[in-house]
Structure 1
Amino acid sequence: MLAYLMSCLGILLAGLDPTPQPQTYAVVVGISDYKELTSRNGDLRYADRDARQVVSFLQSRSGGSLPASHIRFLTNQQATYANIRQALTLFKQAQAGDRVIFYFSGHGLPSSFVPYDVRLDNQQGLLTHQAIKEAFRQSEAATKLCIADACLSGSMTQQQTSQRNLLKTVGSSLGDDTNVAMILASRSTQSAVETGRLAGGAFTYYLLKGLHGHADLDKNKIVTIRELHAYVSPRVRQETRGHQTPIFYGRFSDDLGLAYL
């Protein structure tokens, strides 16, 4: 009898997978209503809505079924400089093999994104691109994605240091297997367009449409970063009549999976 019980226990234990499953941690920010702006002098229309749709995707099966504890979601008055910086500490929970995502939709300036509470007469409270890269550097995650739907977001690829040092900064010291990707709405000199026809930012609209399956060009139920670029970029350029060109930049495998359908 004892031998039989031990045999059953062995079968049960053999069926358990001791390997931890990769986890995803995301900070999602969307700001339409700024503290010192109005609809007449600079407030946006759809940035908070776009961010909410990104969260919905991340919580879906295709996006990884993220639990609420793995997401920091900040919109409008919640998206202060201090709250965003605090939210970025979530990335320290990631372990080797995990993935971290920072998504921002709102106003952008050269070398920075604009939090809700920035003062027009004092821009010390800007969220610098360097601060985001530092949060990435401090994370042990194997995959790091920065996705920004903001004007001038392409300036995130520009540094006073060399490109090699830039990639080392955002990629940390995790080795050649680390995927670090910046998926940015526009070049460093371009605006990011919102459109009533799409009820959102053109970039986020096509980004999410691609992730929901339209970018699965080979129909293998996986949307890779290469497929997403091939889908998003020409459609955003067409939607904006050539005024906006998304940028996919960093160090990553072309076959990096971003959605599993």
Structure 2
Amino acid sequence: MMPPQPAVTGQTYAVVVGISDYQALTYANGDLRYADKDARQFIQFLQSRWGGRVATSHIRLLTNRQATSANIFEALRLFRKADAGDRVILYFSGHGMPDSLVPYDAQPGDDTRLLTYRAIKAAFHASKASTKLCITDACLSGGMTQSTQSQTLAESIAREGGKTGTVAMLLASRSTESAVETGRLAGGAFTHYLLKGLYGQADLNRDKIVTIRELHRYVSPQVKQITRGKQAPVFYGRFSDDLALSHL
């Protein structure tokens, strides 16, 4: 049996976005409560030994009013610094739409400021990184797995990135489902269990490595249970089941 792939073979570059307070929304009509907190907690994981001690200079954090469309697109240019053998990560917690993620300054009826899946594809395609991870805690995020011109976003990124590339999409919900926040967890259900899994709860065989398969096997039932079946995470892309995401 082959050993699991290392969590990080080179450098890691991460763009982390969390938006609770939207420009066009209020708590009465759609603002979130914990998305910015979830983003900060994800960075804490990246900078921990479990996440590979990623350098601060390799991380771009955008929360709330910082997370404008222009700022997100500028931050994604960080991925161009990665070389073969490196890893790039986009983490987004906030509102989602069937074909896009929603920046802070998006306005109803104006699609020009949305972070479309096509734009995400372009940002990943511009990177030479061997491993590309897209993690979204957003409603309808499973839409990334839907075919466009007979090809999903993940398949398109993988194909254009070369046959040896790894592309993994860790998505909070199916394409028709909401992503639930809960006061009981003080965060998004998906991110809460994602991080618990990465910190060790998902190490099902106790080998001190959390693989992507183990993470899915841990996160999915936990999220389904706490949301009473209303939310089912989706892990999708082109990757080995033994892709290591955390070392304990």
TM-score band, normalised by the shorter chain? over 0.9
Determine if contact 1:136/1:171 at 8 Å carries over to the other structure.
no
Which residue does 1:119 correspond to in 2? 107
Query: Is 1:201 aligned to 2:188, yes or no?
Result: yes
Query: Which of 214, 231, 235 is matched with 1:244 structurally?
Result: 231
Q: For 1:51-102, what per-residue CA distance to the aligned partner results, in whole angstroms no more than 9, with x for missing partners?
A: 0000000000110101111000000000000000000010000000000000
Query: Is 1:224 aligned to 2:211, yes or no?
Result: yes
Query: Is 1:259 aligned to 2:214, yes or no?
Result: no
Which residue does 2:92 correspond to in 1? 104
Matches within 5 A, 1:1-261: 22-163=10-151, 166-261=153-248
What TM-score does the superposition give when structure 2 sets the normalisation length?
0.94
Identical-residue share of aligned pairs (%)? 67
Match of 2:83, SS? Answer: coil
Structure 2: distance between partners of 1:128 and 1:257: 28
Determine if contact 1:111/1:155 at 8 Å carries over to the other structure.
yes
Structure 1: distance between partners of 2:86 and 2:110: 37
Match of 1:216, SS? Answer: coil
Structure 1: distance between partners of 2:26 and 2:161: 44
Determine if contact 2:117/2:153 at 8 Å carries over to the other structure.
no
Structure 2: distance between partners of 1:240 and 1:218: 26
Give, in angstroms, the shift of residue 123 of structure 1. 2.6
Give, in angstroms, the shift of residue 116 of structure 1. 0.2
Structure 2: distance between partners of 1:173 and 1:22: 21
Q: Which moved more, 1:114-123 or 1:34-43?
A: 114-123
Structure 2: distance between partners of 1:88 and 1:174: 17
Give, in angstroms, the shift of residue 175 of structure 1. 3.4
Give, in angstroms, the shift of residue 117 of structure 1. 0.4
Residue 173 and residue 112 in structure 1: after superposition, are their counterparts in 2 closer, same or farther (change >3 A)?
A: closer
What TM-score does the superposition give when structure 1 sets the normalisation length?
0.89
Structure 1: distance between partners of 2:175 and 2:99: 9
Match of 2:106, SS? Answer: coil
Determine if contact 2:182/2:189 at 8 Å carries over to the other structure.
yes
**What RMSD in Å do the two structures reach over aligned CA positions?**
1.2
Query: Which structure has the larger Rg?
Result: 1
Give, in angstroms, the shift of residue 134 of structure 1. 1.1
Number of matched residues? 240
Q: Which consecutive residues of structure 1, in runs of 5 or more, have no partner in the other structure?
A: 1-20
Which residue does 1:14 correspond to in 2? none
Determine if contact 1:30/1:74 at 8 Å carries over to the other structure.
yes
Structure 1: distance between partners of 2:239 and 2:233: 17
Give, in angstroms, the shift of residue 27 of structure 1. 0.2
Structure 2: distance between partners of 1:83 and 1:230: 35
Match of 2:173, SS? Answer: coil
Structure 2: distance between partners of 1:227 and 1:168: 22
Q: For 1:117-159, what per-residue CA distance to the aligned partner results, in whole angstroms no more than 9, with x for missing partners?
A: 0112423211101111111111110100000000000001113
Structure with higher RCO (Cα < 8 A, 6+ apart): 2
